Structure 1
Amino acid sequence: MKPRSLPLVVLPGASGHAPDCAPFCADPSERDRVLVLRYPDWRTHVDTGLTGEALVDTLTAEIMERLPQAPAVLLGVSIGGHFAYATALRLESLGHGVAGLCILDSGAITAARSAQWKARLVSHAADLLRRGRPGALALHARQLAWRGLFRLAGDGLPALARDYAMPLRRIGGIDPAFAEELSMRLLIRMTATWLQGLGAAPPCLRAPAALLRTRATVSNDDLWRRRCPDLRIIDLPGNHETLFEAENAAAVRAAFLAATAEWGQAAKPTNENRS
């Protein structure tokens, strides 16, 4: 089996938007091998009481239904890297072939702000100005306004979303940035504790793995080494917000193709269950 013929399962970042998948294809004809998974929207989060375990169950079931025989390469972007790791473990435990796991700039996920959040936001805003993108800057500002409002709710955000679902839905219909930011904040808040638990004593993934990351997430290298003993780390230019900009796309593509070139060789299902 040629490595490039393997299905590629993409787990996006918390926004739920899949990146442009062109960098992950050797040529345009490979786009049909890409399966992009979707996370539940915020209404589903609050209606079902989303948990990390339940999300992994859903992601695993969809992969096994849509790719019942073929071993797959899993690609997780940002928070999707953590979900992809947990899903890959589950697939291995069920005997479904995992050809490899590619983690794209996945740092630590917490419900609290990181220590560098102000500097990161200012840097991103300055970069949008430098690029001459006032529309993107205005959207960025609107997202930050909604994000600050949702952070004020703290751990009460899921209950607030449940109790005021109808008015929140109407606001989301007027401003898509509101609905996207609410989904993102709920996804992070409702899975943050579970995500942190993954790092306490992480099971080891048997499949090969690659961590493609910028300098912003270098502090998490040791975590990914503990999770994935067969790990290759490749530096990427840019930062978390500019990974897929035109000037960085070629580097992302080269890193992904180099990291996954040999993964098709050992992608055979196993019936061994993880203890």
Structure 2
Amino acid sequence: DWFLGDETEAQKGLAPPSGPPTGASESELANIIKKVKLPAGFKMEVYASGVLAARQMAWGDKGTLFVGSFGLGNVYAIKDNGGKKEVKTILKGLNMPTGLAVKDGSLYVIAVDKLIRYDDIENKLDNPGEGKVVYDDMPSYAAHGWKYLAVDKEGWFYIPFGPPFNVGIPPTSVSQIRRVDPKTGNAEVYALGVRNSVGGDVDPRTGKYWFTENARDWVSDDLPSDKLNMISKLGEHFGYPYCHQGDLPDPKFAMG
């Protein structure tokens, strides 16, 4: 994943990342699903097709499913018209709009370098407008720069900021989870020592933020493992780059 940044000495000679996905037809997807073995009582079906490079999803208040994308710059809206799903590309040309959330009728989209709000979105699917940038104090790194959104009951957005490389001492603006108030633009660093999180959510019972973390590469074929973390206090450090999976010292950065 981190290969999207500038090529380093360690990366030279490696195969480049694959191109954007071309997608599959509904019949092709149906054939794939037939081959999946599910536990008793489970069912799998195609909800909608033609949603390329899909990442985070969020439901609108009127039943619209919004979907961010990786690499293509698109945001999609899926409407259920009497059982038939209609897919609209409602936004184009954004810088990796992977993460999104719906709050008080507005769609929030997080790109690499800004958080944008689109008001009254479900009544404006054909013309959402330019949107309002509510937070843009973000580095423009592409590698690990794709972000995701989670909202707590007070309206704060939790946003991961990954470092622009596999492993190293990160710039002070990344390797962290920030908490942003979209009403004021105020933000605080909520956790540190985080490599690459590709999603999280707030427990509605406790208010604690849980998030995934992809660990560094090239220690071995099997290690380190990725993690599921919970932030228990403001400023908590989760180890990167000094320690991985909670108990594995980094072979370089844990020394001295």
TM over 0.5: no
Structure of greater relative contact order (alpha carbons < 8 Å, 6+ residues apart): 1
Q: TM-score, normalised by structure 1?
A: 0.22
The answer to which structure has the higher helix fraction is 1
Q: TM-score, normalised by structure 2?
A: 0.23
